[in-house]
Amino acid sequence: MYELLRERILGGAYKPGQRLDVGAIAQQLGVSQTPLKEALAALAREGLVEIKARSGTYVAQLATRDMIEVFDIRISLELLAAETLLAHFTASDLQWLSAQVQVIQATQTLDEHYRENAKFHQRLVLLSDNRKLAELYDQLHAHVHIALVHLVAPGWWHDSPIEAQEHTAIVAAIRANNSDELRATMQAHLRRSRATLARQLG
Ligand SMILES: [Zn+2]
């Protein structure tokens, strides 16, 4: 149920701001309202839907200011991770990151792309070996928000080759154990992504 609803939102079947009629959806899917409401509550925790008291359930709508604020925090957290991750990475982490750059590039759909990209960035944060940092990062749900923006303004495919180059440069800096280079490549990647996001938000 959760997966299905999530797919409908990220696939654009339900539009941002659209009111979701719980009764109608339950009937359409042939399920009772209780599991449906549970799935919607999980999606609300993730920031994909908004449940408003005495009003209803809506697909999340983007507030430009929130998005940019979340993105800026995300940048600081990832750069903080960059400061310690070189002390913790292993050969298998490096191999995984390197392979993941290819996986991201090979994705065919928006949902897939954002999930694989999120895994790449999450791994970098996990490599910092700072649990509080990883927790804060997860709570931001930055990737979910970004996916929603791209859904509204699907210009992201154009940036895909640049993104791959930047990810490759990040992995190369880790391989070279070069902290200045790592900081610079991550900063360049995240700042460019932020600029793209701001442009799409208009
Ligand atoms: Zn990225």
> pLDDT of 9-57, one tens digit each?
877 788 888 999 999 999 998 999 999 999 999 998 888 899 998 889 9
Within 10 Å of residue 62's Cβ, how many Cβ atoms?
17
Report how far apart, in Å, the C-alpha atoms of 28 and of each of 16, 32, 40, 189 are.
20, 10, 16, 43
pLDDT digits (tens, 9 = 90+) for 53-106: 888 999 987 777 778 888 899 999 999 999 999 999 999 999 999 999 999 999
Shared-domain flag, residues 50 and 74: no
Question: So what's the pLDDT on residue 70?
Answer: 85
Question: So what's the pLDDT on residue 157?
Answer: 59
Question: So what's the pLDDT on residue 141?
Answer: 76
Question: So what's the pLDDT on residue 149?
Answer: 65
Q: Ligand 1 center to residue 68 CA distance, Å? A: 16
Report how far apart, in Å, the C-alpha atoms of 98 and of each of 71, 123, 173 are.
24, 12, 12
Shared-domain flag, residues 29 and 87: no
0.85 surpassed by pTM: no
- Assign residue 182 the CATH number of its domain: 1.20.120.530
Shared-domain flag, residues 36 and 102: no
- Assign residue 12 the CATH number of its domain: 1.10.10.10
User: 74-89 as b/e, with b when 16 or more CB fall inside 10 Å?
Assistant: bbebbebbbeebbeeb
* pLDDT surpasses 80 at 121: yes
Q: Ligand 1 center to residue 51 CA distance, Å? A: 30
- For residue 21 the two structure tokens come to 């009629």
Question: So what's the pLDDT on residue 156?
Answer: 56
Domain span at residue 96 reads 64-201
Q: Ligand 1 center to residue 160 CA distance, Å? A: 10
Q: Ligand 1 center to residue 3 CA distance, Å? A: 24
Shared-domain flag, residues 45 and 70: no
Residue where one domain finishes, among candidates 13, 32, 59: 59
138-148 mean pLDDT:
74
125-150 mean pLDDT:
84
Read off the amino acid at residue 101: V
Q: Ligand 1 center to residue 75 CA distance, Å? A: 11
Count the domains in the chain.
Answer: 2
Q: Ligand 1 center to residue 29 CA distance, Å? A: 36
